[in-house]
Amino acid sequence: MSIKLMQGNDAIGWGAIAAGCRFYAGYPITPSTEVAEILSRELPKVGGKFIQMEDEIASMAAIIGASVGGLKSMTATSGPGFSLMQENIGYAAMTEIPCVIVDVQRLGPSTGQPTAASQGDVMQARWGTHGDHPIIALSPTSVRQAFDLTVKAFELSEKYRTPVILLTDEIIGHMREPVDLPDFKTIQLPEYRLTKKDGEYIPYRNEPGDVPPLANFGVGYRYHITALFHDQQGFSTQRVDEIDPWLERFNSKLDKHLDDILMLEEDRMPGAQLAILSYGASARTSRHAMKLARARGQKVDLMTLLTIWPFPEAQVEALGERVDRIIVPEMNLGQLAYEVERMVGRKKVKRVTRANGEMVTPQMVLDALEG
């Protein structure tokens, strides 16, 4: 393809098309609406379907329903809509139905500042729905990465039968950059589902493997899906001997494949005693600050997390063993910093926070490196 100027939200739309997404349901909300607009225009061209639902609760429900029906499905929203989606994100996690949720973070809490950027949904992406559950969240730092991580989100979602959250922000979503997208024909995701009947099917079997395949509705396996605790056949159960093996598989299925799921970029400098760790729009600030710091002679490492959840515990722990201090810039009051502190201890972490809709500046990071 040729180089095009586009914003992150456009790139997300194209990434969905490239990944084979053929159903989108959503509700208009700033600053994510462009994702819906581009997909309402592009999906019918490839035989896909778009619907604008009556609210975000329904949007989330509709993409799960369509996913069960066999279509790769996505929705996009922002803070308030993301809050409404939590109920059915939990449903998708519990029933292990693949789907992709784009959250273009805006300033909260509540209605907050619709056109201002934020990274305030980091913890909501992890714990927004009730109960313990596995979840994946990816966070792009550029327009091109918004495309790539959207494709990746679909792949991980199908492979591990889990909702995947593309946790981006208003800056990446609305920022325009020249990008050279790959030929979509070169992007072929494997088929992880059962699309025709072949032998017996145990929808929630606990072994072998960590992720039993999903059979699309209508292919001949008439089975039951419920978000109640269920046995291997999918029927609700209160028996602990049936619940426990399922719980064990469910809550460890991502942990067993971290090599495949965790993505991060490291820019190491020999002898560095300082490191900046960031993600999303704040990673851009951090990269700039790193260059300025190195130019004035400071030895600084940079770690950029593309996978936020599951949190890359081992990698951050190793970073903490290498350096004395980790600066964590983010556009909230220190949500990801909690996780970094959990791994390396509070004394090693310096938070650089801003939650007023403005970006963290390189100077704020430089000051923290000095302090």
Partner 1 sequence: MNDHIREAHGLEVDEGQLPAEDWFERSETLQKLRRNKKFPTIWCSGCGIGVVMGALIRAIDHLGLKNDDVALVAGIGCSARMPIYMDYNTLHTTHGRALAFATGLKIARPDMKVIAIMGDGDALAIGGNHFIHAARRNMGITAIVINNSIYGMTGGQYSPTTPLNSRATTAPYGNIEPPFPICDLAVAAGASYVARSTVYHALELDKFISEAISKDGFSMVEAVSYCHTTYGRINKLGTAADMMRALKDTSISQTAYGNLSPEEKTNNTKIVRGNFVNIDRPQYTNSYSSLITRIQGGEQ
Which residues of the shown chain bind partner 1 in the complex (CB under 8 A)? Answer: 23, 25, 44-45, 47, 49, 51, 53-55, 57-59, 61-71, 73, 87-88, 91, 217-220, 222-228, 233, 235-236
DSSP state of 186: G
If the CB atoms of residues 178 and 218 are measured against partner 1, the closer one turns out to be: 218
If the CB atoms of residues 242 and 301 are measured against partner 1, the closer one turns out to be: 242
Closest contact distance (angstroms) between CB of 24 and partner 1 is 10
Helix boundaries (H) for 108-175: 122-127, 143-160, 170-174
Cα-based distances in Å from 210 to 99, 145, 213, 247, 285: 18, 29, 10, 11, 39
If the CB atoms of residues 213 and 357 are measured against partner 1, the closer one turns out to be: 213
Closest contact distance (angstroms) between CB of 192 and partner 1 is 17
Phi, psi of 25 (to 5 degrees): -130, 135
Closest contact distance (angstroms) between CB of 170 and partner 1 is 27
Distance (Å, whole) CA 195 – CA 219: 6
DSSP 246-259: HHHHHHHTTGGGHH
If the CB atoms of residues 138 and 194 are measured against partner 1, the closer one turns out to be: 194
Query: Taking a C-beta distance cutoff of 8 angstroms, is the pair 294, 260 a contact?
Result: no
If the CB atoms of residues 37 and 313 are measured against partner 1, the closer one turns out to be: 37
Query: Taking a C-beta distance cutoff of 8 angstroms, is the pair 287, 329 a contact?
Result: no
Closest contact distance (angstroms) between CB of 133 and partner 1 is 14
Closest contact distance (angstroms) between CB of 278 and partner 1 is 35
Query: Between helices 56-68 and 79-95, what is the axis angle to 10°?
Result: 30
Closest contact distance (angstroms) between CB of 134 and partner 1 is 19
If the CB atoms of residues 68 and 272 are measured against partner 1, the closer one turns out to be: 68
